[in-house]
Amino acid sequence: MTFAVQFLIDVLSLGGAYALMALGLVIVYGILRLVNFAYGELIMVAGYTMFLMNGSGAPWLIMALVAVAMAVAAGIATDYVAFRPVRAKSVTAVLITSFAFSTLLQNAALLFISPRPRPVPLPEIFSQTVTILGAVTPLRNLITIAAAVILLALFAWMMRSTVLGIAMRAAATNFTMARMLGVPANLIISSAFAISGFLGGVVGILWIGRIGTVVPGIGLEPLLVAFIATVIGGMRSMQGAVIGGFLLALIDTTLNYTLPQDLLKFRDAFTFSLVILILLWRPDGLIKGPASGQRT
Amino acid sequence: MKNSKPALLGAAAALLLLGTHAQAQDDKIMIGGAMSLTGVQAPLDTPALKGAEVAVKYLNDNGGLLGKQVELVNIDGKSDPVTVGNVAVELIDKGADLIMAPCDFDFGGPASREAQSAGLVGISTCASDPLYSSWSLGDKQFTLSMWNTTMGAVAADYAFKEKGWKTAYVVTDQFIAYTKSLSKYFVAQFKANGGEIILEDTYTNGDNNFSAQLARLQALGTKPDVIFLSSYGQDIGAIIRALREVGYDAPVMGGDAYDDPAMHEALGEKLGNNVFFVTHTWMGPEAHPDMPKFIDLYTQMHGSAPDTSFVSTGWDTVMMMAEAVKAAGSTDGAAVAKALEDGEFKLLTGDLNYGTAEEGHAPDKAAVMIELKGGKPTFVGWRRPESVPAP
């Protein structure tokens, strides 16, 4: 029983973080059909904001809010710097500009802050534990689960019930048609980047809460996770991204628990083999997105 | 290996050019650095380069070397083995007399291979895997660092002989050669001492998720006397947090990857206790009488005090090069290599005596033991193991 509870909490907390990461990536992809490779740097921006505000005397919650706000600003900046100027012209160009923006941000941190890790302030609650049915678990795992549930619910409500959400779904289904019906393209795309930045910022704080320090390359792992999760779940579907995130966490955690020591070294090989099997079975991912929709 | 042929050709071409080029620079001794200022190696290479810059300035302010000025030219190796090799060729082409190679075998090796084929001495600032030897790289190649054999042995001896910890739990991060071999040598020495390893586990770098390993440790039912955790980068702090949070407060031990002030601060007063690690040096007068002088010079030159002890590896590399060149009376590769083999060096990073080329240039070197108390590192002392496991 204890073991089952432990396992469940591990999967849900890791999966919650993965799902939020994947959602932040897929919301931009859904509309633009372009992967934002500077997505990991949103997490980096949130982390360094926390580091720079360390010692400012502000309460932790304020620092966290500012960090998320900075990630949102960085998300919008990605649109203005890397996407908008070349979006209509060439897919290849956007691919390169988003890589370039990612490199630029990373090297700015390297140059102006330090290549060495920097500590990030964490509240006391992030290192406390609770005992649930005999399983000792860090409170931050429960915070991650709660944050994921709340944000996913909020997100689902927004996509269903607000004008912005409906417009974004319309743009994701058929961008040209949506524009003809009066959906302002730039506003929708900027909003998508802002939401992506918001999710990146929140995930950044939860992710860095496990680690305690920030480095220029911190965004690489989350970007990879988000990318794989969206590929499993279906590149065009937001539910797919969430399911992909939880599924990836389930695969990773199960392998971590069950593989014998000699094979555990090759865990990633097993994970990706399973991903390949899933893709052979469902080449478009688990959930198919809207049928139509060319890139604009 | 795909690139070795053009690189060799490049080196040969560089050698041909050297005849005329080096003479034009006879008034200078040039140290070529292939240190990585960007990418995954930057956290180790950048501090070493900054320390080396301080040493070069110090040498020049005190009359230079063999009556000549010393010049340090670094080209970013970009944490890419192929780039590091190409950069080394370019440096040799420019007339480098000595090569400073990046930390770590995977990244520093290519620079040393180029130095070797050009007949120059190459020294890595902190590669600690025993692969960094004259066996694999050639008879003019050295590493300033102790090998992992020493690092693992010092940890095991300290745990078993000094502290009396009899049972160990060992976690090995599968990240790079460094993390894997460090555990291997700790386990070998700990068993040789008579200790018992109750569980060995594996971790994947970047996971930041230690829950499955914790479940296996909890399933054992007994608590280890000591936890040896060989990991790298930010994961060390994440794993120590995970262990401490669920009540494993046994001492945690590790290698020089723990020497990271940000990690100490992140663990803080509550979690940063009972952590021991073996590293290169301690940034205080207890380690070496010249340490305060070095810190002063560093602060003057770079505007702020060093944020890691890895800066000392750069200073030591240059100062040891200078000592060997002085002893050899020239920058000739064979003569300098001979001087390095014969000399006994009293460095900021410990007393160092190299084995001969047949012995792999095995560094017989002292190591520093540091303990974290309340998130603050404290100096335990120098340790030089009587015996180390075979590499």
- How does pLDDT run along chain B (391 residues), one tens digit per residue? 444 444 444 444 444 444 444 444 578 999 999 999 988 888 899 999 999 999 999 999 999 999 999 999 999 999 999 999 999 999 999 999 999 999 989 899 999 999 999 999 999 999 999 999 999 999 999 999 999 999 999 999 999 999 999 999 999 999 888 999 999 999 999 999 999 999 999 999 988 889 899 989 988 889 999 999 999 988 999 999 999 988 899 999 999 999 999 999 999 999 999 999 999 999 999 999 999 999 999 999 999 999 899 999 999 999 999 999 999 999 999 999 999 999 999 999 999 999 999 999 999 999 999 999 999 999 999 999 999 999 8
State both tokens at B361: 């240039």
Q: Is A104 left (phi over 0), alpha (psi -120 to 50) or beta?
A: alpha
In this structure, the answer to whether residues B164 and B265 fall within a common structural domain is yes
Who contacts B359 (Cβ-Cβ below 8 Å, separation ≥6)?
A: none
Q: Is there a domain that residue A14 lies in?
A: no
Residue A290 pLDDT: 66
In this structure, the answer to whether residues B321 and B344 fall within a common structural domain is yes
Q: Which of A116, A126, A145 to mutate to test the interface with B (most CBs of B within 10 A)?
A: A116
Q: Is there a domain that residue B334 lies in?
A: yes
Burial of B222 (0-12, 13-18, 19+ CB in 10 A): exposed
Residue B84 pLDDT: 97
Q: Which of B201, B209, B216, B311 to mutate to test the interface with A (most CBs of A within 10 A)?
A: B209
Q: Is there a domain that residue A279 lies in?
A: no
To the nearest whole angstrom, how far is the Cα of B273 from the nearest Cα of chain A? 15
Who contacts B115 (Cβ-Cβ below 8 Å, separation ≥6)?
A: B88, B92, B99, B101, B121, B122, B140, B141
Rounded to whole angstroms, what are the CA distances from B223 to A37, B166, B249?
44, 11, 10
Alpha helices in A33-88 (DSSP H): 39-53, 60-78
State both tokens at B324: 């060997």
Torsion of CA B304, B305, B308, B311, to 10 degrees: 90
Alpha helices in chain B (DSSP H): 4-24, 42-61, 81-93, 105-117, 134-137, 148-157, 177-192, 211-220, 235-245, 261-271, 291-302, 311-328, 333-342
Residue B61 half-sphere exposure, CB side, CA atoms within 13 Å?
8
Q: Do A256 and B213 touch (CB under 8 A)?
A: yes
Mean of the pLDDT values across residues A151-159?
94
In Å, the largest CA–CA distance within chain B is 71
The per-residue pLDDT of chain A, averaged, comes to: 91
Contact A22, A230 (CB under 8 A): yes
To the nearest whole angstrom, how far is the Cα of A141 from the nearest Cα of chain B? 11
User: Closest partner residue to A256 among B208, B212, B267, by Cβ?
Assistant: B212
Q: Which of B37, B107, B245 to mutate to test the interface with A (most CBs of A within 10 A)?
A: B245
Using CA coordinates, name the residue in chain B closest to A214: B234
Backbone CA torsion sign across A203, A130, A121, B262? negative
Residue B182 pLDDT: 96
**Which chain A residues touch B if contact means CB-CB below 8 Å?**
3, 6-7, 10, 14, 107, 110, 114-120, 122, 127-129, 136-138, 207, 210-213, 215, 217-218, 221, 252-253, 256-257, 261, 264-265, 267-268
Helix axes A220-233, A39-53, angle to 10 degrees: 140
- Domain of residue A97, residue span: 23-218
In this structure, the answer to whether residues B134 and B174 fall within a common structural domain is no
Residue A150 pLDDT: 96
Who contacts B60 (Cβ-Cβ below 8 Å, separation ≥6)?
A: B69, B70
Who contacts B157 (Cβ-Cβ below 8 Å, separation ≥6)?
A: B189, B193, B383, B385
Burial of A154 (0-12, 13-18, 19+ CB in 10 A): exposed
Residue B172 pLDDT: 96
In this structure, the answer to whether residues B375 and B356 fall within a common structural domain is no
In this structure, the answer to whether residues B270 and B344 fall within a common structural domain is no
Q: Do B234 and A221 touch (CB under 8 A)?
A: no
Q: Do A127 and B307 touch (CB under 8 A)?
A: no
In this structure, the answer to whether residues B298 and B251 fall within a common structural domain is no
Q: Is there a domain that residue A45 lies in?
A: yes
CA proximity to B125, closest of B343, B255, B315:
B315
Q: Is there a domain that residue A261 lies in?
A: no
Using CA coordinates, name the residue in chain B closest to A18: B207
Contact B68, B102 (CB under 8 A): no
SS3 content of chain A, % helix, strand, coil (to 5): 75, 5, 25
- At B215, which CATH number? 3.40.50.2300
The rounded distance, in Å, linking the Cα atoms of B272 and B253 is 12
The domain tally of chain B equals 2
In this structure, the answer to whether residues B155 and B231 fall within a common structural domain is yes
In angstroms and rounded to an integer, the radius of gyration of the C-alpha atoms of chain A is 19
Q: Do A257 and B46 touch (CB under 8 A)?
A: no
Query: 């390993």: which residue's tokens?
Result: B213
pLDDT tier at A136, thresholds 50, 70, 90: confident
In this structure, the answer to whether residues B11 and B142 fall within a common structural domain is yes
Q: Which of A128, A211, A223 to mutate to test the interface with B (most CBs of B within 10 A)?
A: A211
The rounded distance, in Å, linking the Cα atoms of B336 and A101 is 46
Q: Do A127 and B270 touch (CB under 8 A)?
A: yes
Contact B249, B274 (CB under 8 A): yes
Q: Do B245 and A215 touch (CB under 8 A)?
A: no
In this structure, the answer to whether residues B235 and B374 fall within a common structural domain is yes
- Tally A–B CB contacts below 8 A: 104
Mean of the pLDDT values across residues A241-252?
95
Residue type, B185: Y
In this structure, the answer to whether residues B14 and B162 fall within a common structural domain is no
Residues of A in contact with B267 (CB under 8 A): 212
Using CA coordinates, name the residue in chain A closest to B236: A211
- Domain of residue B141, residue span: 4-146+288-360
Counts for chain B of helices (H) and strands (E), in that order = 13, 15
SS3 state at A55: coil
Q: Is there a domain that residue A270 lies in?
A: no
Q: Is there a domain that residue B230 lies in?
A: yes
Which H helix or E strand runs over B371? strand B367-373
The rounded distance, in Å, linking the Cα atoms of B112 and B143 is 10
In this structure, the answer to whether residues B198 and B51 fall within a common structural domain is no
To the nearest whole angstrom, how far is the Cα of A18 from the nearest Cα of chain B? 12
Residue A291 pLDDT: 58
Q: Do B209 and A212 touch (CB under 8 A)?
A: no
Q: Is there a domain that residue A234 lies in?
A: no
- Number of Cβ atoms within 10 Å of the Cβ of B5: 9
The domain tally of chain A equals 1
Which H helix or E strand runs over B169? strand B167-173
Residue A55 pLDDT: 83
Residues linked to residue B381 through DSSP beta bridges, in sequence order: B369
SS3 state at B95: coil
**Which chain B residues touch A if contact means CB-CB below 8 Å?**
37-38, 40, 42-43, 46-47, 174, 200-202, 204, 206-209, 211-213, 215, 233-235, 237-238, 241-242, 245-247, 260, 262-263, 265-267, 270-271, 307-308
Mean of the pLDDT values across residues A210-227?
92
Using CA coordinates, name the residue in chain A closest to B78: A107
Q: Is there a domain that residue B125 lies in?
A: yes
User: Closest partner residue to A136 among B37, B202, B247, by Cβ?
Assistant: B247
Contact A17, A203 (CB under 8 A): yes
Q: Is B221 left (phi over 0), alpha (psi -120 to 50) or beta?
A: left
- Residue B92 has φ and ψ, to the nearest 5°, of -65, -40
In this structure, the answer to whether residues B271 and B298 fall within a common structural domain is no
Q: Is there a domain that residue B390 lies in?
A: no
Cα angle value A218/A222/A225 (rounded, 5°) = 150
User: Closest partner residue to B266 among A212, A221, A265, by Cβ?
Assistant: A212
Q: Do B202 and A257 touch (CB under 8 A)?
A: no
pLDDT tier at A127, thresholds 50, 70, 90: confident
- Residue A67 has φ and ψ, to the nearest 5°, of -60, -45
Residue type, A186: N
Q: Is there a domain that residue A51 lies in?
A: yes
Using CA coordinates, name the residue in chain A closest to B270: A127
Residues of A in contact with B271 (CB under 8 A): 127
Residue B236 pLDDT: 95
Residue B28 pLDDT: 93
Using CA coordinates, name the residue in chain A closest to B244: A127
Q: Is there a domain that residue A242 lies in?
A: no
In sequence order, what E strands does chain A have? 118-119, 129-132, 135-138, 213-214
To the nearest whole angstrom, how far is the Cα of B295 from the nearest Cα of chain A? 18
User: Closest partner residue to A127 among B241, B260, B307, by Cβ?
Assistant: B241
Q: Is there a domain that residue B253 lies in?
A: yes
